[in-house]
């Protein structure tokens, strides 16, 4: 039996072979206890100084009953809108009220003849599997998210969180820029994503992402050090009737329209 140095609680070594080995070697056991105590002391100090452990604390939780209520709550500096919380939970912050949008029906993808309306709470896995969206983009949307960590994470991470964060390495942002998408903000109305990507963060509520149906063909490619790693380079292209849209730098993306011919020009001899 060994005693936890910081809490005074005991735990047992259930593996009989290890227990016997330690009991028969007092010097080794004493050394093990000394190193274990030193390790726990260092962790305790680090926690007190918040040097190692990054923790998010939430004082109150509120499941918003309307977008207006969510917006009003979000105007307070310490409050946060929560979705999949993939990145938020890694921050060392104190959240006053966590605002949950899951009861507002924003977890649906609606398709019409004009385009797609993708709610902010739609998980990445849902756009990965959506038949209409992938048929329209010829699988480009699926390709843009299928390398993001794993299925479990893609079931949690939301489209709204991915777009609102505007990370420079975002597969999702890059793909939707090429789709000529817009975002609907509760107070700010409909804004082109290319413009929204360059805006500073504010406290408006991102309601949905709007993708118009156009005469276009799409392609998405990324370069990664490993299959589920963050991308080193992301690139999405859209071939329309007269030009191609190529978001070069996600997060600081600018639309680059260049002529695109069906076949590359022949080299002169």
Segment 182-207 shows an average pLDDT of 96
d(CA 211, CA 202): 23
Q: Is the pTM of this model over 0.85?
A: no
In sequence order, which residues have a C-beta less than 8 Å from that of residue 250 and are 6 or more positions away?
Answer: 167, 168, 169, 170, 173, 174, 177, 197, 234
For residue 208, report the phi and psi dihedrals to the nearest 5 degrees.
-160, 165
For residue 2, report the phi and psi dihedrals to the nearest 5 degrees.
-130, 150
Which of these, 147, 95, 246, 7, lies nearest to 260 by C-alpha position? 246
Cβ atoms 6, 40 nearer than 8 A: yes
Which of these, 212, 220, 198, 77, lies nearest to 143 by C-alpha position? 220
Q: Does residue 48 sit in helix, strand or coil? A: helix
Q: What is the pLDDT of residue 33?
A: 56
- 67: part of which helix (H) or strand (E)? helix 67-74
d(CA 49, CA 258): 53
d(CA 244, CA 13): 64
With a pLDDT cut of 70, the percent of the chain lying above it is 70
Q: What is the pLDDT of residue 268?
A: 40
Most confident of 43-57, 104-118, 165-179, 221-235: 104-118
Cβ atoms 160, 87 nearer than 8 A: no
For residue 93, report the phi and psi dihedrals to the nearest 5 degrees.
-135, 155
Which of these, 97, 104, 67, 65, lies nearest to 82 by C-alpha position? 97
Q: How many CB atoms lie within 10 A of CB 147?
A: 17
| pLDDT band at 194; cut points 50, 70, 90 | very high
Q: How many residues make up the chain in this entry? A: 269
Segment 245-257 shows an average pLDDT of 45
Name the more confident of 237 and 18.
237
How far is C-alpha 121 from the chain's CA centre? 12
Name the more confident of 256 and 79.
79
Q: How many CB atoms lie within 10 A of CB 137?
A: 26
* pLDDT above 50: residue 218: yes
């Amino acid at each position: 039996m060994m005693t936890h140095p910081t809490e005074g609680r005991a735990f047992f070594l259930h593996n009989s072979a290890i227990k016997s080995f330690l009991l028969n070697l007092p010097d080794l056991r004493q050394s093990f206890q000394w190193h274990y105590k030193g390790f726990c002391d260092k962790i305790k100090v680090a926690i007190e100084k918040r040097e190692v452990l990054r923790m998010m604390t939430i004082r109150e939780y509120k499941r918003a009953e309307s977008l207006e209520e969510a917006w009003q709550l979000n105007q307070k500096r310490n409050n946060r809108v929560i979705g999949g919380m993939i990145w938020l939970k890694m921050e060392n912050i104190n959240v006053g009220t966590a605002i949950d949008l899951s009861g507002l029906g924003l977890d649906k993808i609606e398709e019409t003849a004009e385009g797609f309306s993708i709610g902010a709470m739609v998980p990445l896995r849902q756009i990965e599997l959506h038949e209409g969206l992938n048929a329209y983009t010829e699988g480009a949307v699926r390709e843009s998210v299928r390398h993001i960590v794993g299925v479990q994470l893609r079931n949690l991470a939301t489209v709204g969180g991915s777009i609102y964060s505007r990370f420079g390495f975002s597969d999702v942002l890059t793909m939707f820029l090429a789709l000529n998408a817009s975002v609907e903000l509760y107070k700010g109305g409909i804004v082109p994503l290319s413009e929204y990507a360059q805006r500073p963060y504010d406290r408006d509520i991102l309601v949905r992402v709007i993708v118009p149906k156009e005469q276009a063909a799409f392609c998405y490619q990324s370069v990664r050090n490993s299959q589920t790693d963050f991308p080193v380079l992301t690139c999405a292209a859209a071939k329309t009737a007269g030009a191609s849209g190529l978001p070069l730098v996600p997060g600081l993306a600018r639309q680059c329209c260049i002529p695109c011919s069906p076949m590359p020009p022949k080299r002169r001899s």
